[in-house]
């Protein structure tokens, strides 16, 4: 049985994993490896929207300049209430305070490639699926290693373990975090491709009803990203593997009564870009009161920590922006400990967890309220509840979300 020893192992080569590896590399940490179960970078989800908090993190990672010039920011959000017909416009120019900061929708594969380019050769090890984690040998009190067992039978021993392995994280389970819960909400996403210029204004178009939230935004002159989140039914679970069925269900049932412009976007979707996702999350009280993301020299971030905390029910650019924030904050704490003397790694990881806890809990609470407001089938009782919740959202949650999208996770001190 092959064994190897490494300094830092990151599990998962998604946005969180690659951003963390890039951040640590930028801080001068050597010997970082990334384990990825797939044989190549996975690009599930054709595009993602990133708000200023995410762009500030990308700037800290040194990759914002690679992306910003190719993806123009949008300055306006138009929100239509499908039940009242009321339309309001939200000015987003307040989120554009400097070059590279704004609201943009970018191709996921372009972001992944930009992050991967920041890594030394052979940092990513493909076809390496983690199946279990074990603590250091209890009979050896001097050992600081954590054993990682892969599906090919090999074992990797690492001094620092960072789990970026998604919603059903093996590392999070080993740390004792509660399992993500089914939110009874689902999201469909896709990328429409037009043979000619689509003619839509470059702004975020949103639609809301008592149980749905949907929208679309142009990526460029010929591509348009769209999404719809909704209460989950049994028939929805049958859509996951059938792109044509997804489009038919969206146009005939989920988006019934939506404006023609939204339906036209859906009908022009490239089937290969469609995703149907059951939204899982951790309740705010579980994040606040339960075991948290740190034990010894191991931790988690990204979806492994806050699965689908905000997307798509709050406009924070999905979890991608939070994953980028996580990576920058972790590297800022852990980088000096690993480049100077790794004896401080445990304290550094604890400091990372402490800094991220309240931000993640606050956003989880806002998303929970937003999802609760969209749950139900209507009626007088529901109408009263919705008006109450909408008042709470406008009065308390909304201002916090504006602050959240303009959050600055700070910079990294680049080291040689």
Quote the pLDDT of residue 315. Answer: 46
Quote the pLDDT of residue 308. Answer: 62
Sequence spans of domains, the chain:
3-72+106-180+282-405, 184-280
Separation of first and last alpha carbons in the chain = 36
Q: What is the CATH number of domain 184-280?
A: 3.30.9.30
The answer to whether the beta carbons of residues 360 and 322 sit under 8 Å apart is: yes
Q: Does the pLDDT of residue 100 top 60, yes or no?
A: no
**Using 50, 70 and 90 to split pLDDT, how confident is the model at 29?**
very high
Q: What is the mean pLDDT of the chain?
A: 83
Does this model's pTM top 0.85? My answer is: yes
Give the pLDDT mean for 309-333: 75
Q: Does the pLDDT of residue 172 top 90, yes or no?
A: yes
Q: How far is CA 404 from CA 161, 358, 362, in A?
A: 28, 12, 9
Residue 328 tokens read as 């920058």
Nearest to 327 by CA among 38, 101, 70, 32: 32
Q: How far is CA 90 from CA 75, 126, 316, 402, in A?
A: 9, 43, 15, 11
Quote the pLDDT of residue 362. Answer: 77
Quote the pLDDT of residue 187. Answer: 86
**pLDDT for 181-216, tens place per residue?**
777 788 899 999 999 999 999 999 999 887 888 999
User: Cα separation of 212 and 255, whole Å?
Assistant: 9
Give the pLDDT mean for 156-171: 94
Q: Does the pLDDT of residue 316 top 50, yes or no?
A: no
Quote the pLDDT of residue 307. Answer: 78
Residue 309 tokens read as 């905390």
Quote the pLDDT of residue 102. Answer: 73
**Using 50, 70 and 90 to split pLDDT, how confident is the model at 397?**
low
Q: Does the pLDDT of residue 122 top 90, yes or no?
A: yes
Give the pLDDT mean for 256-279: 92
Nearest to 180 by CA among 303, 282, 277: 282
* The residue to which tokens 């680049």 are assigned: 414
Name beta bridge partners: 249.
none
**43 CB-side CA count, 13 A:** 15
User: Cα separation of 11 and 295, whole Å?
Assistant: 16
Domain 3-72+106-180+282-405 superfamily per CATH: FAD/NAD(P)-binding domain (3.50.50.60)
User: Cα separation of 74 and 102, whole Å?
Assistant: 8
Give the pLDDT mean for 7-32: 96
Q: Does the pLDDT of residue 263 top 90, yes or no?
A: yes
Positions of E strands within 73-154: 76-81, 87-91, 104-107, 124-125, 130-134, 146-150
The answer to whether the beta carbons of residues 192 and 226 sit under 8 Å apart is: yes
Q: Does the pLDDT of residue 302 top 70, yes or no?
A: yes
Where is pLDDT greater, at 72 or 380?
A: 72
Residue 201 tokens read as 């204004």
Give the pLDDT mean for 1-29: 93
């Amino acid at each position: 049985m092959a064994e190897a020893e490494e300094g830092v192992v990151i599990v998962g080569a998604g946005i969180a994993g690659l951003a963390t590896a890039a951040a640590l590399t930028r801080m001068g940490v050597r010997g970082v490896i990334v384990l990825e179960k797939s044989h190549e970078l996975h690009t599930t989800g054709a595009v993602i929207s990133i708000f200023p908090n995410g762009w500030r993190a990308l700037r800290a990672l040194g990759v914002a300049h690679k992306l910003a010039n190719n993806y123009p920011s949008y300055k306006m959000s138009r929100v239509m209430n499908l039940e009242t017909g009321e339309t309001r416009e939200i000015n987003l120019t307040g989120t554009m305070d400097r070059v590279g900061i704004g609201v943009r929708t970018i191709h996921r594969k372009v972001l992944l490639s930009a992050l991967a380019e920041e890594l030394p050769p052979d940092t990513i090890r493909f076809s390496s699926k983690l199946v279990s984690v074990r603590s250091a040998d209890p009979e050896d009190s001097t050992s600081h290693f954590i054993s990682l067992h892969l599906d090919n039978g090999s074992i990797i021993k690492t001094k620092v373990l960072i789990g970026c392995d998604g919603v059903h994280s093996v590392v999070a389970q080993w740390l004792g975090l509660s399992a993500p819960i089914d939110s009874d909400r689902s999201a469909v996403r896709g990328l429409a491709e037009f043979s000619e210029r689509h003619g839509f204004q470059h702004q975020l178009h949103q639609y809301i009803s008592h149980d749905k939230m949907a929208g679309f935004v142009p990526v460029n002159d010929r591509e348009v990203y769209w999404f719809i989140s909704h209460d989950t039914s049994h028939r929805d679970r049958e859509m996951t593997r059938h792109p044509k069925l997804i489009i038919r269900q969206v146009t005939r049932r989920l988006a019934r009564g939506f404006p023609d412009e939204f339906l036209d976007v859906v009908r022009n979707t490239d089937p290969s870009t469609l995703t149907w996702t059951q939204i899982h999350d951790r309740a705010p009280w579980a994040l606040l009161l339960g075991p948290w993301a740190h034990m010894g020299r191991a931790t988690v971030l990204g979806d492994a920590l806050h699965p689908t905390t905000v997307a798509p029910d709050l406009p924070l650019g999905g979890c991608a922006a939070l994953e980028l924030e996580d990576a920058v904050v972790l590297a800022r704490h852990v980088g000096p400990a690993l480049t100077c003397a790794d004896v401080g790694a445990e304290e550094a990881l604890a400091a990372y967890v402490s800094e991220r806890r309240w931000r993640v809990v606050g956003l989880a609470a806002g998303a929970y309220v937003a999802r609760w407001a969209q749950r139900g089938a209507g009626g007088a009782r529901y109408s009263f509840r919705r008006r109450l919740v909408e008042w709470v959202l406008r009065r308390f949650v909304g201002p916090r979300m504006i602050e959240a999208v303009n959050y600055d996770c700070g910079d990294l001190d680049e080291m040689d």
